Structures are given as C-alpha cells and as structure tokens.
C-alpha cells in the first residue's frame, strides 16, 4: 500500500513529514511559494524556495493521481469487475500512466469488433485456442457459427476470436509497461519525405530530415521540434521504429516486440495446430493496435519534453536579454540599417523622448556615404548625442563602419557606438502600442526609435514586444504559448 501523499513527498525531498504538512497547510490557505519561503521559514522548518516549488508541483500531481484513482475504482466497481488483485494493483499505481494502463480494459469505448464477437459467444473459442494450441482453429470454429450475428463461416468466426485476443493483448497493463520500456531503450524516431512533396521548394528547409533516424532517448529538443514542424507542414512522415530495423532495404528479422507479446502469453511456434494462427494474431495485435498506441504516446511525450526544453532555453535567453546592462540616460542615435530602403535614423534624449528622425542612403544602390555622414554629424551635434545604437539586421556591418567614420569625423562629441539586437523592432513598430506612442511617425522610423531606446534601457523597451517575436529561442512559435 502506498504511503500518504505528505509522507511520500517528505521521502522524495529528504525532509520531515511535519515540514511537508506545514507547507501544504500554508499553500492550501492560499499562501504562495515566495511568501512561504521568505516569511514562514519557522513554520516549515526552513524549507527553501526550490524545495517548496518541487513540493507544490508534486503535491498537485499526486492529488490529481488520487482523484483519478478514486474515479477509476468507482468506474470498475460500477461495472462489477473490481476484484481484490485489481484493486490492489490500482491502489499501488505510482504514476498516472500506470493507472491508465490498468484502467484501459475497463474504459467505456465504442462498440468494437471484439465486443461484437463476444456478444456472439465466440470468446470461449479464443480462450481455448490460447490455452491449447494443439487444437485446429478451422475445426474448432465450426461449433461457433452464428449467421444472425454475422459469423456465417469459419473464417468470420476465427476473425472474431482474433479480434478478442488482439484487444486482450493490447489492454494488458504489464505487457504494455514492458513494451513501453523496451521502446524507450530501443526506439528510434524515423522521418521520411512525403514522396509528392520532395521537389516542393518549400520543403528544402527540411532536406536534412528526408531520410533520418535517431534514438528517441537522445534526440535533442531542437531536432525534435524541427521534425514535428516538418510533419505539421506536410513535408515529413514521422514514425517510431526500432534500432534493429534494417536500413539497407533488406528483409527485417523477427520483431522483438512481437516476441515479447508472444512470450508474455506463452505463445510458441512448435508446429501445433493453432501455433501459426496465434503467431499471426500476435503480429496483428502489434501492428494494428499496440505499436500505433505506443507510437502516439511516446512521440507525444517527446514533443512535450522538447517543448519544455525549448521554453526553458527561451526563458534563460530572454532573461539575459531583458537584464542586459542599460547604457543609462544619455542622448542616443538609433540606426535601423537597410540597403534599398535606406538607414532609418532616430535621436532620443536621455529620457527616451523622440527628438529627431530621418532616412539616409549610404549603401547600395545610392551610395551617398559623404552625404549620410554630413547629415548624421549635423544631427548629433544639434542634440549632443553621446551613444550610437546600430541594429544587427541587414547591412548592419556596413552601417557599423559608417558609425565608425562618424566618430572619427567628430571626435569632440566623444560618441560610442554599440551594435544591439533589433529582434522584434519591426513587430513593435507596427503594433497598436507604437501607433499610440507615435501616431504621426512613419512605421519604418518607429523601429529606429526602439533600437535607440533598447540601448538606453533594454528592459523598459523590450517588454513592449510579444516575447515570441524577440527571437531568442528555438521554435518559440511552435511551442505551447
């Protein structure tokens, strides 16, 4: 029998049950983890914020597990199928996954072929063939003909018996647990290009995944998310295979998962009457039911794990960006680089207030280098500029050289140039917030203002932008928003 929730959490965290009980009571009363960690140390016996976060997360999981356990027991009991061994197995289930495996045979489901066969009285035949493989299936099936129920010949009867055994194999909790563990150790994520999409220009970005295999345990999050994006966009087909599958086009050997199903139910090929039929039943159970169920489940887990890692990376990078050291309250020239459309220019004062704007064309195709230097020098002198912020987009390197020439041209202004991330500047410039802030300013010039301000104070400027548009993560548009 499992320990009470608070004792289990105490054992996992390596603390006293009374500390967990005190923390749980505070959390249930509405206190937050930061509040408890800071102001209620004497009540919890000194639990720190990390322990409290883990406690809160585990408490939620275990309470959900207990609620689900009660619902499962009630549902099976209502069906009159709750015997003592099953109740014990359910009460000792330590994870939601194990609990759902045990509940699977008793879930209310749509009317299956196996259920129809049972109603026609074919289950005794399935049991007899599994228990005594010496029987000849075609001979035994003759006693179960039932034309009214749709079983008019021995072929239909044997198909019904096979459906019953397939469902039984697919709903055996112990077997499914073993197969899941085997696939986690030996499963490979395999991706292939969808044939008719191979020459589609949009598929080129997924070319590395047209014929790809990697262990499901080792595939990194960024690679997993690339594969899922390729599948979602209709260019890749993803499957869960085995590391023993041949990759050279040769015939596959015995399937180890089918071997485990057969072994679990004592099915052996000894040339007896029902051996071939049972072996085929095992193959069907794996290919039609079990492998698809586990593939869906394990690929879903892979996606969740990849998303969690991507969100963690995004959060870490965003924190570094938002907390970058501000240059401080100094008049700043913002340059949003561009070639054909020119370099957009904006000057803000030490408080971030917009003072001046303009557009210069130092690069291709106009190449007005000297005219651009003259216009910038005049603007910097007029507003006493001391910082130059250069966006790191297209033509950034060339614009950085322009800023260097400007500093050489006017050394008495003591200006400093810095290249800053312009990620999200274009999104901000067309946003409703920017339109309210600068209703009379051209959209293209608002980006230059943002670039100047994010050098002065990154946090104050970047919080105006939708996080996924800042571009510091991996596949941040694909993950759970």
Cα separation, 440 vs 448, in Å, equals 15
Tokens of 1: 């029998």
Give pLDDT, residue 473. Answer: 66
Q: Against a cut of 0.75, is the pTM above it?
A: no
pLDDT digits (tens, 9 = 90+) for 158-214: 999 999 999 999 999 999 999 999 999 999 999 999 988 888 888 888 888 899 999
The answer, yes or no, to whether residue 109 has pLDDT greater than 80, is no
Q: How confident is the model at residue 316 (pLDDT cuts 50, 70, 90)?
A: confident
> What sign for the dihedral angle of Cα 197, 201, 203, 208?
positive
The answer, yes or no, to whether residue 355 has pLDDT greater than 80, is yes
pLDDT digits (tens, 9 = 90+) for 269-310: 999 999 999 999 999 999 999 999 999 999 999 999 999 888
Give pLDDT, residue 393. Answer: 86
Q: How confident is the model at residue 1 (pLDDT cuts 50, 70, 90)?
A: low
The DSSP code for 3 is P
Cα separation, 211 vs 30, in Å, equals 52
Answer with the residue of higher pLDDT: 92 or 467. 92
The answer, yes or no, to whether residue 106 has pLDDT greater than 80, is yes
SS3 190: strand
The answer, yes or no, to whether residue 398 has pLDDT greater than 90, is yes
Q: What is the mean pLDDT of the chain?
A: 91
The answer, yes or no, to whether residue 111 has pLDDT greater than 80, is yes
| Half-sphere exposure at residue 166, Cβ-oriented, CA atoms within 13 angstroms | 23
State how beta strands 387-391 and 416-420 pair: parallel
């Amino acid at each position: 029998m499992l320990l009470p929730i608070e004792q289990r959490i105490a054992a996992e965290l390596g603390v006293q049950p009374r500390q967990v009980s005190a923390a749980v009571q505070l959390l249930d009363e509405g206190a937050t983890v930061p509040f408890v960690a800071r102001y209620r140390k004497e009540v919890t016996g000194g639990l720190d914020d990390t322990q409290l976060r883990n406690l809160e997360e585990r408490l939620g999981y275990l309470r959900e597990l207990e609620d689900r356990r009660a619902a499962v027991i009630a549902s099976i009991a209502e069906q009159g199928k709750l015997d003592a061994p099953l109740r014990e197995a359910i009460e000792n289930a330590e994870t939601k996954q194990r609990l759902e495996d045990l509940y699977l045979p008793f879930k209310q489901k749509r009317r299956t072929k196996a259920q129809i066969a049972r109603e026609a009285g074919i289950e005794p035949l399935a049991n007899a063939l599994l228990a005594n493989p010496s029987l000849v299936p075609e001979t035994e099936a003759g006693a179960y003909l039932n034309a009214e129920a749709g079983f008019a010949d021995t072929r239909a009867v044997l198909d019904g018996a096979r459906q019953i055994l397939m469902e039984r194999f697919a709903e055996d909790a112990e077997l499914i647990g073993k197969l899941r563990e085997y696939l986690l150790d030996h499963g490979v994520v395999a991706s292939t290009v969808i044939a008719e999409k191979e020459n589609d220009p949009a598929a080129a970005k997924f070319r590395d995944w047209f014929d790809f295999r990697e262990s499901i345990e080792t595939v990194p999050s960024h690679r997993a998310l690339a594969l899922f994006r390729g599948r979602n966009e209709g260019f890749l087909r993803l499957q869960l295979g085995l590391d023993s599958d041949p990759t050279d086009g040769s015939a596959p050997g015995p399937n180890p998962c089918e071997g485990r199903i057969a072994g679990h139910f004592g099915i052996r090929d000894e040339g007896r009457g029902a051996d071939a039929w049972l072996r085929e039943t095992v193959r069907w159970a794996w290919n039609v039911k079990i492998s698809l169920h586990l593939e869906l489940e394990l690929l879903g887990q892979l996606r969740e794990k990849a998303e969690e890692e991507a969100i963690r990376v995004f959060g870490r990078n965003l924190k570094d960006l938002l907390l970058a050291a501000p240059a401080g309250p100094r008049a700043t020239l913002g340059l949003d680089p561009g070639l054909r459309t020119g370099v957009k220019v904006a000057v803000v004062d030490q408080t971030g207030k917009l003072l001046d704007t303009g557009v210069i064309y130092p690069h291709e195709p106009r190449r007005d280098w000297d005219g651009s230097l003259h216009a910038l020098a005049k603007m910097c002198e007029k507003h006493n500029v001391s910082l130059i912020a250069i966006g790191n987009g297209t033509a950034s390197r060339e614009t950085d050289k322009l800023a260097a020439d400007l500093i050489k041209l006017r050394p008495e202004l003591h200006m400093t140039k810095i290249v800053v991330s312009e990620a999200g500047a274009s999104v901000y410039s067309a946003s409703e917030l920017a339109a309210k802030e600068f209703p009379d300013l051209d959209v293209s010039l608002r980006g230059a203002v943002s670039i100047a301000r994010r050098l002065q104070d990154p946090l104050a400027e970047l919080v105006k932008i939708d996080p996924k548009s800042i571009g510091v993560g991996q596949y941040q548009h694909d993950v759970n928003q």
